[in-house]
Amino acid sequence: MEKGWRATGARAQERPNKAAHVRVVANHRDPKPSILLAMASHNEIEIKFRAADVPALNRRLRKAGFRLVTHRTHEMNTLYDLPGQPLRERGELLRLRKYGPDWLLTHKAKGKAGRHKTRVETETKVADGAKMEAILRALGFAPTFRYEKFRAEWSDGKGHVVVDETPIGNFGEIEGPSRWIDRTAQALQVARSDYITTTYSELFFEWKKQSESCSDEMTFSTIQRKPRR
């Protein structure tokens, strides 16, 4: 395992001694609120790929020695930014996520280009999502984009693979050390030419342009793609 990589979200529950902490504060000398990232910031190294056949992907994961960590769970994500969207301009992300019953607040720094996507990520659980949203709004942040999916998480003890069912198609994500990502992709029959390093919001707006959809968010209700039951 490469130094600097650590699982996040529901995966972070497997490493309780490395909890991340995020504080959102307003600096009186600077009228713009800022995000203070404290402790446990780590490099997130990952790639996405399209998963046309989810049952077949699940079979390959089992054959490759992965175990199911989190069963298929509903997830709703909301991105926040300040007026003028300075976070987006800098390539950063501030996200409030509801994953099953859990709420998570995440900040991601600007990613580095390469075969894999690498960016510093800081994430922490939130006890009350509605109150967290109220705090963000009080500091001047506003929702800019929502995206929804059903996610299942798999692990082999060295890294993680997630399987996402979204309104614009199904995707897999492989997260872990760089060399492990390539070995895992090969085991799952994912070619390097199939690696995707763009975000879900970028994928959505590419899809929106191609499909000429009027939707402004990646949710099942607006795109009307029924998820598998």
Query: Token pair of 9, please?
Result: 């979200």
Domain holding 79, by residue range, is: 9-223
Domain membership of residue 4 (yes or no) is no
> One digit per residue, pLDDT tens: the chain, 229 residues?
433 344 444 444 443 333 333 333 334 344 444 444 444 567 899 999 999 999 999 999 999 999 999 999 999 999 999 999 999 999 999 999 999 999 999 999 998 878 999 999 999 999 999 999 999 999 999 999 999 999 999 999 999 999 999 999 999 999 999 999 999 999 999 999 999 999 999 999 999 999 999 999 999 999 975 455 5
Count structural domains, the chain.
1
- Is residue 7 within 8 A of residue 14, CB to CB? The reply is yes
Domain membership of residue 54 (yes or no) is yes
Q: What integer pLDDT is reported at residue 23 of this predicted model?
A: 38
Q: What integer pLDDT is reported at residue 14 of this predicted model?
A: 40
Domain membership of residue 172 (yes or no) is yes
Residue 69 makes CB contacts below 8 A (sequence gap 6+) with 10, 11, 14, 153, 154, 155, 160
Q: What is the pTM of this model?
A: 0.79
Q: Comparing C-alpha atoms, which of 138, 80, 136, 76 is closest to residue 108? A: 80
Domain membership of residue 228 (yes or no) is no
Return the CATH number at 164.
2.40.320.10
Domain membership of residue 3 (yes or no) is no
Q: Tell me which amino acid residue 71 is.
A: H
